[in-house]
Amino acid sequence: MEPTILLNCFKCIGMGIAIGLGVLGPALGLGLATKTILESIARQPESEGQISKYFYIGAGLIEACAIYALLVVILIAFVLN
């Protein structure tokens, strides 16, 4: 095989592995956070607005981890030659 085709193959494999494994952790984290907020809202329904305010910020922080994986994938796809 030509070297450029080989490089593209490995790039595709690397991108798939990077986004797949990188999204795993934030998915677990978001699941745990959603579980906890649902439990606490079920226990105290009147404090829903107060709790969900912090949940959105936490979700933004957790989501950033998945975005880092996406950033690495973008770097592999467009910057690496």
Partner 1 sequence: MELHIGEHYITKLFGLDVHMDTLITLWTAMGIILFFSILAVYKINIVPNKIQGVFEKIVTLFVGLTKDLGKEQGMSALILMCIFLLIIVSNLLGQLPLKLIHLNGGELASPTNDLNMTAALAVFVLIYYIYKGIKSKGLSYFKHYIEPVWFMTPFNILEDFTRPLTLALRLFANILAGEILIMVLMVLISALLTPQAVHNLASDIFFGILPESWVHNIGLFLGSLLPLPLMFFELFVAFIQALVFTLLTSAYIQSAVQKH
CB 77 within 8 A of CB 15: yes
CB atoms < 10 A from the CB of 72, how many? 15
Of 5, 42, 79, 80, which one interacts with partner 1 (CB under 8 A)?
79
Tokens standing for 73? Answer: 């994938």
Residues 6+ apart with CB under 8 A from 44: 51
Q: Which of residues 48-77 bind partner 1 (CB under 8 A)?
A: 56-57, 59-61, 63-64, 67-68, 70-71, 74
Question: Which of 10, 56 has the CB closer to partner 1?
Answer: 56
* Sites of contact with partner 1 (CB under 8 A): 56-57, 59-61, 63-64, 67-68, 70-71, 74, 78-79
